[in-house]
Amino acid sequence: MMTRVKTPAEIAAMREGGKMLATILQLLKQELQPGMSTKDLSLIAARELEKYGVESPFLGYQGFPDIICISVNDEVVHGIPRPDKIINDGDIVSLDFGIKHKGMITDAAISVIAGTAKQKRHVQLVQRTEQALTAGIMAVHNRVRAGDIAAAVQAELEHAKYGIVEDLVGHGVGHQLHEDPNIPNFGRPNTGPWLDKGMTIAIEPMATLGSERVYVAEDEWTVLTYDGSWAAHFEHSVLITEDGAEILTSL
């Protein structure tokens, strides 16, 4: 389904849901400590969803078994929370979460270092992947093309000499978790579909300290780097405006 220009009421619902989403992600970041399991974090997220009276669009999406994706170190995305998956000091933990509120979906992700970083390059990977998200958002305006956003993200990640995961992409968002078109993290300006103001998209750079090659684990969900290098992932759902973008998944 191609993403549609949203009505003011739909946008208002996405603003409200996006704010809840950002609030919960910040809470998870604060609560995250070495020694916790990824399932512990999922249970905190579940408690918060209940408090707000909203749902996660991830649960049951193409059979995904949890409300949140939590991916650690060489896991890029789509990690399934597990009680036996213990977070260690210095791990890079990526939290990808969504909210469905008044029928509208928002999607966002952050990467966080648990405790104390083991290597400076881990800190840089997290910071610069977030910068790539900012670059992508800065490229947005009415009648932007998907390739314009992709090229802005790519330039930032290539400058840092990171692997850019090409198999996974951003997307339209709102009525469904994944709406067309794809918003890749690599591409050329002035290519790809045009996007109009009032449309809502998720921009989500994923970067690795090594190669861009990834594979899917035996659990059929978790996406890992082929070379074992560590990865980071940041995502915002944004509303396209006349001359820019409004971040819907911010506090």
Q: Rule CB under 5 A: which residues touch Mg ion?
A: 107, 202, 204
DSSP helix/strand/coil, 102: coil
Q: What is the DSSP string of 14-30?
A: HHHHHHHHHHHHHHHHH
Distances (CA, A) of 55 to 2, 66, 97, 158: 23, 12, 11, 36
Least distance from Mg ion to the Cβ atom of residue 115, Å: 27
Least distance from Mg ion to the Cβ atom of residue 76, Å: 13
Pairing of strands 231-233, 200-203: unpaired
Q: Which is nearer to Mg ion, 107 or 148 (CB)?
A: 107
Q: Which is nearer to Mg ion, 144 or 201 (CB)?
A: 201
Contact 165, 137 (CB under 8 A): no
Least distance from Mg ion to the Cβ atom of residue 204, Å: 5
Residue type for position 227: D
Q: Which is nearer to Mg ion, 15 or 40 (CB)?
A: 15
Rounded CA-CA distance 111/232 in Å is 6
- The closest alpha carbon to 58, from 106, 10, 14, belongs to 106
Residue type for position 170: G
Q: Which is nearer to Mg ion, 40 or 248 (CB)?
A: 248
Least distance from Mg ion to the Cβ atom of residue 171, Å: 6
Contact 128, 154 (CB under 8 A): no
Least distance from Mg ion to the Cβ atom of residue 93, Å: 17
Rounded CA-CA distance 163/166 in Å is 9
Rounded CA-CA distance 74/84 in Å is 17
Residue type for position 197: K
Q: Which is nearer to Mg ion, 40 or 135 (CB)?
A: 135
Rounded CA-CA distance 214/124 in Å is 21
Q: Which is nearer to Mg ion, 40 or 149 (CB)?
A: 149
Q: Which is nearer to Mg ion, 74 or 107 (CB)?
A: 107
Rounded CA-CA distance 240/247 in Å is 9
Least distance from Mg ion to the Cβ atom of residue 174, Å: 12
Least distance from Mg ion to the Cβ atom of residue 170, Å: 6
